[in-house]
Structure formats: structure tokens, C-alpha cells
Amino acid sequence: MSHRKLLFFLPFLLCFSLLSVPLYAVENGGIANLRQTSKAFASVAKAVSPSVAFIKVESVQKGAHFPSFPSPFEDDFFKRFFGDRFPGFPQQRHPQNQPERRVMGQGSGFVFKTDKGLMSDTSYILTNNHVVEGADKIRVTFQDGREFDATVKGTDSKSDIAILEIKGSEHPPLPMGNSATLDVGEWVIALGNPFGLSHTLTVGVVSAKGRSGLGINDYEDFIQTDAAINPGNSGGPLLNLDGEVVGINTAIFSRSGGYMGVGFAIPINLAKNIADQLIDSGEVTRGYLGIVIQNMTPELAESFDIDDKKGILVAQVSEDSPAEKAGLKVGDLIVRYQGEQVTEVAGFRNRVALTPPGTRANITVMRNGKRKVINVKIGNLGEDQVVASASTGTADELGLTVQTLTPDLARQFDAKAGQGVVVTEVKPGSVAPMGGIRTGTVILQVNQKAVNSSADFQRAVASGSNQKRVLLLVSDRGMSRYVVLSWR
């Protein structure tokens, strides 16, 4: 090649070389990052595995399923994940006629706290209540092969938390993380004993936070993850890349009977509060307000003429409750609790429940378009408490017929005579059943005005007919909620 031609191609050769170097560096940098992430997973497994326990339980069951095919799945723990009718296993036709028999169950747990001293050498294992519920014998095995008999220190079925107690263990407690700072998309690691396969590690990401309304526990605020969780993982730790516990693996969603990429873990901030109470006193106390609440929807916001759709709506205030004494009212929109924003029912309910009884709490509400701060003394939640011949009238637009509440009807529908009207007929296909209105539903308000007779009801509906929408405050079996019915 001549000198002139070399000078002509030299700029192109330089450009190509400059482009190829960063591409090579990026490729190798990506592989290096993957290796680093892999080492992080291995480091977490090495650090935490000694404190993760395999829990075996024995219990007595009557008429258990699958009597002809004994397996590790013949227990309530397996049914928790896949239901009573798992495909491929025969069903028990007459369980009431079957004799009692001992059934083995399994799960996971981890060392939560230790009490070491001259007078005590105790380790506390944190796990799920459903893993040990009804157990007659509990055996805990660690990775080093050491086994211990365990006793139940305390359980809380409402949050599905249990604390076991073992003597003489030298396994260190796992460090606790902060589940409140966990981000969607962040790497997490599940460690446990699925199907009895000891100390199995799976990895994934946080798919979502604040999952509630699943019907698994009374108090729900689940972390959702795609880290593989299977029967036997229950009670095991969900960890971040620093090896800190951020959750307790509890359940999976499955339609096929197998892992489908959707698992749920109890946030460690919630679990830690419950576990500490169980260790200290063997029981759990929860805060109590005495209100029924519901999430704000665009339809409700429009009906209440609220621009900001954030907050939760007070649908009922219990008589002589801390909320009533403090001045909370039906129709108040709760926007802040103890200075922190309130966005949905489950989170607010959990925060109130975790507030120690006797605490003074500030609740910020929107009432008639104005912000108001209410100071309330949190009560102690009891077992029976929750965080309540007449003329007829017809509303054709809504597709329902109502009747004034007589004393007899009030007793029948858990209502108060003279307060509200009871739905006696619902037209199929109308807007009423679409809004959850059914026969026996008690309507207390129409467009925020009390209706104490069928005549009141008809007038109230007629006055709002031009908007082709009504806001109802209804009560079903003593529980109130707001409903918007529209026939546009």
C-alpha cells in the first residue's frame, strides 16, 4: 500500500480501533459485574445458612387427606399453598370415619434473637404460625447437623408469626434489615427447605410491595417476589444482598400446583414488632381506633368533591370508641397518621395496630374541604373488635326497593331502628347489584344525608337524579362502606 493510500485509510483505522476498545471493555465489564453479583449471592448464603433452621413438626389429624399414599404433603401446610384438592392425589370420602393418625409437617425458620448468660442459654427461632400450629412435637435442625427439641414461646395467628424456643444453641441471630426501604426491582434471596431439601437458596427481585386483600392473614402488607418459594420455604428468611432479613417467606400464588413466579413474604418490620412482643410477654397487644375505613376511589372523590384522591375514607365510627371520643366522624378523609402520609387501608390499619395502646396519636383529616388535626388516645384492641309494618319506596334508576327499619327488621339486619332503610328487593342487571347492593343491605345515607325512612330515601335519590349518580353509605352485617352508583 502506498504512503498516500495509508494516509487516506488511517483516520478510518483509528476510528474503528477507538470504537472497538469500549465495546470490548463493556462486554468484559458486564461479565465482571455478573461475577460480582454471583459472588454476592454466595457470600450471603455462606454467612446466613448456619442460622437457618429446618423445622419438622408432628401432629395428630382426624380423617386426613390421601390416606392411601403417605407423603410429605399430607398436612395443612401443603394445603395452604395449593388448596384441599391438589390434582393427582385421591381425596378422602369419609374423613369423619377415619381414625386419628400422626402426620409429619415441615417448614423453615431462622435464629431471630438469643439470650445468653449465667442463668439462660436460649435461642428464639422466628417462623410462620401455620408451620407449627397444632403441633405436638417440634424438632429444629441446623446446617451443621445439630438438632434441638423446640417449644412454642408464642404465636399470633392474625399476622401468621410464631416464636420457637430452643436451649443450648450456639447459632448466631441473623441481622435485621429495614423492609420499609426495600425497593421494587431490588435483588432478594430466599433461603429455606422446600420439599425437605435442606438449605436451598433461590434468588429474584422484589416484584411489588404492600400487597393486601389476599385473604392469607388478618394483617397483610406482603412483599411480592419472584424468588422461587415452594412448600417447605414457609418461615424462612427473605434477605437483601447485605445478608439482612427483610421478610419472612409465607405463601405462593399458584393455579397449577407448582411455583409460578409469585411469592409473598411478611415484611420484617411488621414481623419484628410481633416477635418482640411474643418473646417479652407471650402475647400481642394491638392499637384500636374503632372505625371502619375504605380506600378512596375516583368515583368517591368526585362524589365528595375532593381533588386529591389520596387518603382513606371513614365509613363508620363505633360508639364509645377512641375515635368517637376524639371527634372523628363518618365522611372524614384521613390523609396523615403521626405525620406520615396515608394512602391505603391496609397500611393504615397495620400502623394503628402496631401503635402501643395508650399512645397519643395525631390524625390529619379533610372535613368539608378543610384540613383538621385530631389527637386520639389509641385503645387496646379486643378479640371482638375490628379496626357496626312499614312503608316502602322504589328507586327505578338504581333498581332497588327499600323499607323503613322497624325494631324487628333492625334486629334481623344488625342495625338500629329509625336509622337507615333496608333493601328488600334488587332488580337483576341494574346498577345496584353492580355496586354490591343486595337484599338486606342497610342504606344509612344518600349523598351524605341521613335517610331514616323510605320517604327520605326517595327524596334524596330524586334530588340527585340530574347528576345520574348517587353516593350511598351502606351497612352489611354491621360493617359500613361508601358506594357510588351511576346510571350514565
Q: Is 160 a catalytic residue?
A: yes
Best CA proximity match to 267, nearest among 217, 342, 201: 217
Degrees, nearest 5: CA angle 24-29-32? 130
What do you get for the CA distance between the two ends of the chain, in Å?
82
278 Cβ contact partners less than 8 Å away, ≥ 6 residues apart: 153, 154, 155, 156, 161, 162, 163, 284
Closest CA to 294 of 146, 90, 435, 419: 435
**Known catalytic residue: 234?**
yes
SS3 75: coil
Grid coordinates representing 438 are 343486595
Buried b (16+ CB within 10 A) or exposed e, 296-310: beebbbbbbebeeee
Q: Which of 108, 234, 303, 321 is catalytic?
A: 234
Joined together, the cell numbers standing for residue 146 give 445439630
Give the span between the Cα atoms of 286 and 171, in whole angstroms. 31
Strands 287-288 and 360-367: unpaired
* Coil vs helix vs strand at 430: coil
Contacts for 145 with CB less than 8 Å, ≥ 6 apart? none
DSSP string for 307-370: S---SEEEEEE-TTSHHHHHT--TT-EEEEETTEE---HHHHHHHHHTSPTT-EEEEEEEETTE
Q: Which candidate in 59, 75, 123, 130 is catalytic? A: 130
In degrees rounded to 5, what are phi and psi of residue 36?
-65, -40
| Residue 2 neighbours by CB distance under 10 Å | 7
Cα separation of 427 and 284, whole Å? 46
> Cβ distance 248 to 126 under 8 Å?
yes
Three-state DSSP state, 23: helix
Among 393, 401, 335, 398, smallest CA distance to 362 is for 335
Per-residue CA distances from 375 to 329, 360, 364 (Å): 13, 7, 9
Q: Residue 21 — φ and ψ, nearest 5°?
A: -65, -50
Is residue 392 within 8 A of residue 365, CB to CB? The reply is no
Q: Which of 455, 459, 449 is nearest to 303 (CA)?
A: 449
Q: Catalogue the active-site residues.
A: 130, 160, 234
